[in-house]
Amino acid sequence: MLYYLIVCRSLTYAQRTAAALERAGVTARILRSPKSIAGEGCSHSVKISQRNLTDALRILQRVGLTPKRVYITAGDGSYQEVAL
């Protein structure tokens, strides 16, 4: 199943992001960012399903938590950055 990863600068930021999405009815799960997309070392990401990206971006913009980097899973297990 395809899904998106919203890469966050910190665990707490990821928690705020996930909490805002959950409050708005969008299922969101926090996980450690895959090494290949983690940026400058360790980070956390918020995972959302493919169908929820548009809603998620709208919700996060509304609450002032606009993501900086979003990735989508590819069929081969790699990740591709999504142009926002």
Nearer to another protein, 40 or 76 (CB): 40
Distance, CA of 11 to CA of 8 (rounded, Å): 7
Among 6, 7, 13, 26, binds another protein (CB under 8 A): 13
Task: From 25, 41, 37, select the one nearest 72 (Cα to Cα).
Answer: 37
Binding segment toward another protein, per CB under 8 A, in 20-28, 31-39, 50-58, 68-76 = 31-39
Contacts with another protein, residue ranges (CB under 8 A) = 9-13, 15-16, 19, 30-32, 39-44
